[in-house]
Structure 1
Amino acid sequence: MTQEAAWTPDHIDTTVPSAARIYDYMLGGAHNFAADRLLGARVMTMDPNIRVTARLIRSALGRMVRFLVDQGIRQFLDLGSGIPTVANVHEIAQGMDPVCRVVYVDIDPIAVAHSELLLVGNGRAEVLGADLRNPDSVLSSEQVTRQLNLQEPIAVLCSSVLHFVSDSDGLPDIMRTYRDAVCSGSYLAISQVGLGMGTETKGKVDDALRRSGSQERVTGRTREQVLELFGEFELVEPGLVNAAGWRPSGPSDMSGLGTVNKDFHTGVARKL
């Protein structure tokens, strides 16, 4: 069995690209296929800054997790977690405090399969193969009920995933269900693409996705629309900003800020 076959479920059509695997490719990961790399390269010709943006978003996620652990959070629900790469949520959180618990949720079978391999022997982290658009199913799953206590503060992470949920799916209602399920003192973290991609570029990206056979599409949202997703939660400083500007720990976190999509809305909010 090849190394690739070890993490590839038998029923996967590797000729159809996946957003999770394209993101892995842009981050320099190895868990992607030729179709993912081809479409990823095509998208990068349409938006040359997208690889820098992806890496800045990943860096921001790490800073969010460290901030949340510092605030006393020891439970994480990572929605649309994608394929494990460098500095995963459980590695950061458990590196700061081994008692931290994490449940990853993703609809991509490759992301789930590789996460299962990565988490073997880790009794405080699991992966759930599920669609975040079905919050009741996610929240009532064995993995969530086994690992997470929703009566205690928890962090719900939505990093670079909500723009793959269309307006017709009713995203505000979906997020309201997640917010209502968690207790006071919990946090919600979001990174969501804005409208800076431009209508023409977005059209080209969606057309490339369509031609490749992928069902995924990108839905950019305004600052006001993203703020709505936080509901009654109170944003922590510095508010809703570009990914590179969310609590940068040094100059390297800000690299590329002048060239990337400046309305990739990123923020963390607390339930009072």
Structure 2
Amino acid sequence: MTPPTTPPIPGPSPSPRPSDTTAGRGPVDTSVAHPARRYDFLLGGKDNFAADRDSARRLIEVFPHLRTAAVENRRLLERVVRHLTQAGVRQFLDIGTGIPTSPNVHEIAQDIALDARVVYVDNDPVVMTHARALHTSHPLGATAYIEADLRDPAAILGSPDLRAALDFTQPIAVLLIAVLHFVTDDDQPYDAVAALAAAMPAGSFLAISHTTFDPLPADVRRRLTALTDPSAGHGPFRPRTHDEVARFFDGADLLDPGLVPIVEWHPDSDPSPHATASEAIGYAGVARLP
């Protein structure tokens, strides 16, 4: 199959003014880059602001494959959801969902099982506004939306919307796709993941993708690391090594092929990757929870 062509990074697109609000919310600070909106820009979307586009372009100057990495992460999400749905999973908790980009989790899962149920979680009210407007479930399934932060798992687990949408007597797949690298060590990411995993029913799954600088040349690692400093203006970012990402799966049973570069996680499945590990710069793994 011929790999799809990658369109150029889009230019500025019409966006709400910095003083705009989301429905029922206060003002959204659009002067600061947000990872969900930057990711939307990298995927060719239009729901982003000047700060998000500027941040992406500055990162691309150091790492020209940034858009490729975003696209490959999206392909990974599709492979993971298809794999789990085909294995019988019918419930998904997608934390750090980002701005809707078709196919979304419920679309992927319900393409296989119409009764699949998905709860989307994000801490950006812009994301949640778009999610509520665009995530329409098949009548046999369900979608729900929680505005909450991964750093506060108790708020996610205590949400009545979560309990109304998902059956906690049946397995749930927790999706932490391209979100943990935005949680610094000071915010106790391992404790947050452990709390989520401990709350899931027996036989549930944990799926993670996480940015790493492991495959990059030393000079590129150094320049990218400098951009993770808070003073650089790109927001919190914490790439992790293979061993550091593996710690998130402590106590769980990693499925084949284990914790591997994103492009090596079931590469023969659809949609197949079209990049190298040094272009996708991420690890991926799926584990069965006890």
User: What TM-score comes out, normalization by structure 1 length?
Assistant: 0.90
* Partner residue in 2 for 1:158: 176
Are residues 86 and 121 of structure 1, via their aligned partners in 2, closer, same or farther at CA, if it must alter by over 3 Å?
closer
Q: Which residue, out of 111, 115, 122, partners 2:131?
A: 115
Distance in 2, Cα, partners of 1:75 & 1:252: 21
Counterpart code for 1:269: A
2:143 is aligned with what amino acid?
A
Instruction: State which drifts further: 179-188 or 248-257.
Output: 248-257
Aligned twin of 2:78: 62
State the match for 2:111 in structure 1: 95
What letter matches 1:148 in structure 2? L
Evaluate the alpha carbon distance shift between residue 256 and residue 199 of structure 1 in structure 2; reply closer, same or farther with a 3 A threshold: closer
Match of 1:18 in 2: 34
The one-letter amino acid paired with 2:127 is A
AA of the residue aligned to 2:95: L
Contact map agreement 1:8 1:113 (CA 8 A) in 2: no
Give the number of the structure whose residues are more often helix, by fraction.
1
| Structure 1 Cα separation of the partners of residues 138 and 28 of structure 2 | 26
Whether 2:69 is the aligned partner of 1:47: answer no
1:135 matched to 2:156? The reply is: no
Distance in 2 of aligned mates of 1:201 and 1:81: 28
SS of equivalent residue, structure 1 residue 96: coil
Q: State the one-letter code of the partner of 1:223.
A: H
**What's 1:32 paired with?**
48
What is the DSSP-based 3-state SS (H/G/I as helix, E as strand, rest coil) of the residue aligned with 2:92?
strand
**Aligned-residue offset at 1:49:** 1.2
Shift of 1:211: 4.6
Deviations for 1:170-195, whole angstroms, at most 9, x for unmatched residues? 11111111111112211000001123
Residue identity in the other structure for 2:63: D
SS in 2 for 1:253: coil
Task: Indicate the residue corresponding to 1:203 in structure 2.
Answer: 225
Q: Structure 1 residues 44 and 172 mapped into 2: Cα distance closer, same or farther (>3 Å)?
A: same
Tell whether 2:75 aligns with 1:84: no
Report Cα offsets for 1:47-67 as digits up to 9, x if no partner.
111111111111001000000
State the alpha-carbon separation in 2 of the partners of residues 118 and 8 from structure 1: 18
Give the CA deviation at 1:17.
Answer: 1.4
1:187 aligns with 2:205: yes
Q: CA shift at 1:205, angstroms?
A: 2.1
Identity rate, percent: 37
Structure 2 segments unaligned to the other structure (5+ residues)? 1-13
Q: Does the 8 A contact of 1:202 with 1:218 survive in 2?
A: no
Secondary structure of 2:94's aligned partner:
strand
Whether the 8 Å CA contact 1:187–1:268 is kept in 2: the answer is yes
Task: Tell me whether 1:73 sits opposite 2:95 in the alignment.
Answer: no
Total equivalences in the alignment = 266
Partner of 2:257: 238
Q: Residues of 1 paired with 2:40 and 2:257: CA distance? A: 28
The CA distance in 2 between the partners of 1:145 and 1:156, in whole Å, is 14
**Counterpart amino acid of residue 32 in structure 1:** N
- Secondary structure of the 1:77 match is strand
1:223 counterpart residue number: 242
Comparing 219-228 with 112-121, greater Cα deviation is found at 112-121
Shift of the alpha carbon at 1:235?
A: 0.8
Deviation digits for residues 247-272 of structure 1, max 9, x if unmatched? 1236972322164155x110100124
Once the 2 structures are TM-superposed, how far is the Cα of residue 239 of structure 1 from its aligned partner?
0.7
Alignment partners' CA distance in 1, 2:78 and 2:190: 25
Is this contact kept in 2: 1:46–1:204, CA < 8 A? no
Alpha carbons 1:235, 1:269 under 8 Å: kept: yes
Structure 1: 5+ residue stretches without partners: none
* SS of equivalent to 1:201: helix
Q: Deviation digits for residues 213-242 of structure 1, max 9, x if unmatched?
A: x5x221111212211111211111111111
- Please tell me the residue identity of whatever aligns with 2:34: S
